[in-house]
Structure 1
Amino acid sequence: MVQVTRTIHAPIDDVFAVLADGWSYASWVVGASHIRDVDDTWPAVGARIHHSVGPWPCTIQDTTSVSSVDAPHSIELDARAWPIGAAVVRVELRAIDSMSCEAVMFERAVRGPGRLIPDAIESLLLGPRNRESLSRLADLAQGGYRCAND
């Protein structure tokens, strides 16, 4: 399992607000290129984001669904990108103080060819990608991001 951590200088609720807005997914998840639809119940368990992954015109159309959520502390996703495979992605938020938190992202391939990649290579591939994803999440939260429903 790949794990990366970042301190975010924003309140935990502000960071979770970005995670709770499925329309923001392509803004912080490296590789997600377009959001086609978001279930009205996002981020409830079972809700899905319908997204495209990869550069145009070679995009893969698939979905990511919520496996578990404990707002504002964690969300676990089943992220699919067939035929590449699927991964479990978990983001945990831990308050440091009222104006900052620690974000920890875990990812592991669970289905498809991706799960055959050795752990060391998976870490080399996903570690930098996930560090950049947390950097983008931090930028949105620290920049005063407001969800479309505000």
Structure 2
Amino acid sequence: MVDVKMTVETSPERVFEVLADGWTYAAWVVGASHIRDVDKGWPARGTRIHHRVGSWPVLLDDITKVHVADPPRLLELEARAWPFGTARIRLELRETEPGTTEVLMSEHAIRGPGRVLPEAAQALVLVPRNRESLRRLADLAKGRAAV
């Protein structure tokens, strides 16, 4: 499991609002380039975001599915980008003081080529990518708080 933490100067509810808006997925997830559809009821267990991964002209259509949702504390996803693989991503939100949230993002490969890589090798790619994803998530959440 590769973990990245970030502190966000807003409430867990504001952060979860961004996570609960499936149409913002490509705005904060590094690698997701376009949202094609969001299942009604997102982020209920089993609902999916239908997205594109990559950069033009090399784009792959795939999905991300909710495995566990416990608003505003937890969202666990199964993200596919086949043929590269499938990952389990866990986002835990914890209020550390009023108006401040610690976000812990954990990711590990569960299928595909990434699964056989040692955790240290996965971390070389996932830590910078997930740090940037959390920066984007934080900016979106803080922007919602400012409105």
TM-score of Structure 1 vs Structure 2, range by shorter chain: over 0.9
Q: Shift in Å at residue 112 of structure 1?
A: 0.8
What whole-Å deviation, never above 9, does each CA across 1:67-87 have from its counterpart, x for those lacking one? 001100000000000000000
The answer (yes or no) to whether the contact 2:19–2:25 under 8 Å persists in 1 is yes
Show the counterpart of 1:71.
Answer: 71
Residue range with higher mean Cα deviation, 20-29 or 112-121: 112-121
Show the counterpart of 1:123.
Answer: 123
Look up the SS of the partner of 1:59 in the other structure.
Answer: strand
**TM-score, with structure 1 as normaliser:** 0.95
Report the CA distance shift for 1:52/1:145 in structure 2 as closer, same or farther (over 3 A): farther
CA distance in 1, matches of 2:26, 2:91: 16
CA distance in 2, matches of 1:98, 1:11: 7
Q: Shift in Å at residue 98 of structure 1?
A: 2.3
Show the counterpart of 2:109.
Answer: 109
The answer (yes or no) to whether the contact 2:10–2:145 under 8 Å persists in 1 is no
Show the counterpart of 2:141.
Answer: 141
Show the counterpart of 1:35.
Answer: 35
Q: Aligned letter for 2:31?
A: G
Report the CA distance shift for 1:145/1:84 in structure 2 as closer, same or farther (over 3 A): farther
What whole-Å deviation, never above 9, does each CA across 1:6-58 have from its counterpart, x for those lacking one? 00001110000000000000000000000000001100000000000010110
Q: Aligned residue pairs: how many?
A: 146
Once the two structures are superposed, the pairs formed by residues 23-102 of structure 1 within 5 Å of their partners are 23-102=23-102
The answer (yes or no) to whether the contact 1:18–1:145 under 8 Å persists in 2 is no
CA distance in 2, matches of 1:68, 1:144: 24
Q: Aligned letter for 2:113?
A: P
CA distance in 2, matches of 1:112, 1:99: 39
Could you tell me the percent identity over the aligned residues? Answer: 57
Q: Shift in Å at residue 116 of structure 1?
A: 1.3
The answer (yes or no) to whether the contact 2:22–2:38 under 8 Å persists in 1 is yes
Gapped regions of structure 1 (runs ≥ 5): none
Q: Indicate the RMSD between aligned Cα atoms, in angstroms.
A: 1.1
Look up the SS of the partner of 1:144 in the other structure.
Answer: helix
